[in-house]
Amino acid sequence: MENNTDNKKPSFADDFKRRLKDIKTTRWIRFGIVAAIYIAWVIWMQSPVWLLGLILLFDIYITGYIPFTWWKHSKSKATRSVMSWVDAIVYALILVYFVFNFVGQNYQIPSSSLEKTLLTGDYLWVNKVTYGPRVPMTPVHFPLVHNTLPILNCDSYLDHPSVEYRRLKGLRSVESGDIVVFNFPAGDTVSTKLENSAEYYEMLVKRYGWAEVNSNKAMFGDIKYRPVDRRTNFVKRVVGMPGERISIKGDTIYINGKKQLVPENAQFLYFALMSRPLSEEQCHELGIALADVQMVPSNRPEFGYTVDAMPAGNKTGSYLYQLPMTQAMIDSLKADGQLVNYLRWDGSAQEYYLFPQGIADIEQWTLADYGGDEGLLIPQKGMTVELTPRNWLLYQRCIRNYEGHSDAEFKNGKVYIGGKPADSYTFAMDYYFMMGDNRHMSQDSRFWGFVPEDHIVGTPMFVLVSFDPERSIFNGGLRWNRILRDANPDK
């Protein structure tokens, strides 16, 4: 009878020992480094269940039971070549996923709202470790784009599974004066054709009506909901902290009644009378975006100001401009003799629907005089407010949109939450009041209200590279002097 002992299949234990024995020392070292990093990440996450991932890592680096590298043994050269690229791309995407979600990522400044601190065309490195990275709420997403895949023009993420808001331990909390990148709070419902414009959904509805916005796809596209971490990224400066009262009087911010210093780089909108025209080169040297400069015909009072409205003094200039300037710009133009006279804009902007509607419009708040005599009380986690009609106007978006009480409503002079009357409300999150340094040309909390803590992404550390959108790369388009510059020099 034939002896089949030599053909007997080895047991799992014997095969496991053989695989361990065949592994080179360098492979063990690589596994040890990756495992240590992974364990540190699990400890940071405070989710022990993720330790099960060590089993997969052990198989990838050591035992190899799952044939991830089957293609290396293929007889087809084309298969080996293609799969080697696929393998490299997958590893790169996994690395990018973890870096972008838990360490930091790049962010482009799209507008002039923070000039002259940050310029249009700056590419920033946003640090997520400082405040603690936010665990991805939509964990299944393509890491190289924010919410839309190019060409395909479809969502770059899946709505499900979704994760409740949780933030890992950071180095410190948000502080007053920080420049912060956050998801646009009013960007929960979007018009896909205008999502990246200054006209957000609520403004469109107020301007054109709900029926028009939701039916006219040619103009507005589809109307869709964005999860918190897939909403458009904004960057502004924190000027009001949780629990503080904020008001603005004559362009000066007051916190709890105390006057705040104006940042050195803060810009305001002026009507400036010049003795000669402003050239494009002058605007570039001063750091004024050409898109923000408008020549005002002196005989057209509908612009709001005329030469006759200027303060007492020289009014013999022939060129009237509307443009944003810092005090340093004003001093430079005056010293040159070009700036004859100037008048700061009064900040009136009722046509922009200042927040909160129903209070700001009735009390005639402006961008320069905002918040009334008492100021706005910024919500703080654990803070309880009485649900008066005025407080409902002020905090309804926080209650309904940010803290999940979508059924909350005001009827018959009373607030109802979950179908039951409510006399007070206790906030579940901290909120912040954000503004741009380009004070009169920034769409910020004065328009759409408070920023919830779960919308905070991180804080910019430095400028990676900067391109002037008004110049070609061969004509000063690359701003060499901004590379690796501190992104928040006033802090």
Got the DSSP string for 309-323?
GSPSS----SEEEEE
Residue 463 lies in a domain: yes
Q: Per-residue pLDDT averaged across 355-370, rounded?
A: 93
- Examine the fold and report which residue of 70, 86, 102 is the final residue of a domain before the chain moves on: 102
* 266 secondary structure, DSSP code: -
Residue 117 clears pLDDT 80, i.e. is over it: no
Is the same domain home to 137 and 184?
A: yes
- CA dihedral sign of residues 171, 176, 178, 180: positive
Is the same domain home to 118 and 180?
A: yes
Is the same domain home to 114 and 237?
A: yes
Q: What is the pLDDT of residue 1?
A: 47
Residue 152 lies in a domain: yes
- Examine the fold and report which residue of 76, 102, 128 is the final residue of a domain before the chain moves on: 102
Is the same domain home to 164 and 71?
A: no
- Helix (H) or strand (E) run with residue 85 in it: helix 77-102
Residue 111 clears pLDDT 80, i.e. is over it: no
User: 322 lies in which domain range?
Assistant: 268-344
Q: Name the band, by pLDDT with cuts 50, 70 and 90, for residue 349.
A: low
Q: Per-residue pLDDT averaged across 262-291, rounded?
A: 87
Return the minimum-mean-pLDDT range out of 169-173, 381-385, 477-481: 477-481
Residue 151 lies in a domain: yes
Is the same domain home to 30 and 98?
A: yes
Residue 160 lies in a domain: yes
Residue 405 lies in a domain: no
Q: What is the pTM of this model?
A: 0.89
Question: Quick one: 279 exposed, middle or buried, by C-beta within 10 A (0-12, 13-18, 19+)?
Answer: exposed
Please, what's the b/e burial string for 415-443 (b: 16 or more CB within 10 A of its CB; e: otherwise)?
Answer: bbeeeeeeeebebbbbbbbbbbbbbbbbb
Distance CA 9, CA 379 (A): 68
- Examine the fold and report which residue of 102, 129, 159 is the final residue of a domain before the chain moves on: 102
Cβ atoms 333, 282 nearer than 8 A: no
Please give the tally of structural domains in the chain: 3
Residue 40 clears pLDDT 60, i.e. is over it: yes
Cβ atoms 423, 433 nearer than 8 A: no
List pLDDT tens digits, range 398-454: 999 999 999 999 998 999 999 999 999 999 999 999 999 989 988 999 999 999 999
Is the same domain home to 116 and 64?
A: no
Is the same domain home to 147 and 237?
A: yes
Is the same domain home to 136 and 230?
A: yes
- Round the average pLDDT of the chain to a whole number and report it: 90
Please, what's the b/e burial string for 317-352 (b: 16 or more CB within 10 A of its CB; e: otherwise)?
Answer: bebbbbbbbbeebbebbeeeebbbbbebbbbebeee
Q: Name the band, by pLDDT with cuts 50, 70 and 90, for residue 298.
A: low
Is the same domain home to 40 and 130?
A: no
Tokens of 155: 């969502």
Q: What is the pLDDT of residue 241?
A: 98
List pLDDT tens digits, range 18-39: 889 888 999 999 999 999 999 9
Residue 328 clears pLDDT 80, i.e. is over it: yes
Q: Name the band, by pLDDT with cuts 50, 70 and 90, for residue 311.
A: confident
Q: Per-residue pLDDT averaged across 198-224, rounded?
A: 92
Residue 380 lies in a domain: no
Cβ atoms 53, 178 nearer than 8 A: no
Is the same domain home to 108 and 148?
A: yes
Is the same domain home to 237 and 170?
A: yes
Q: Reduced to 3 states, what is the DSSP secondary structure of residue 133?
A: coil
Residue 397 lies in a domain: no
Can you give the CATH number for the domain in which 156 is found?
Answer: 2.10.109.10
Is the same domain home to 151 and 273?
A: no
Residue 59 lies in a domain: yes
Q: What is the pLDDT of residue 6?
A: 57
Cβ atoms 457, 183 nearer than 8 A: yes
Q: Per-residue pLDDT averaged across 176-193, rounded?
A: 94
Residue 115 clears pLDDT 70, i.e. is over it: no
Distance CA 139, CA 228 (A): 12
Residues 6+ apart with CB under 8 A from 349: 366, 367
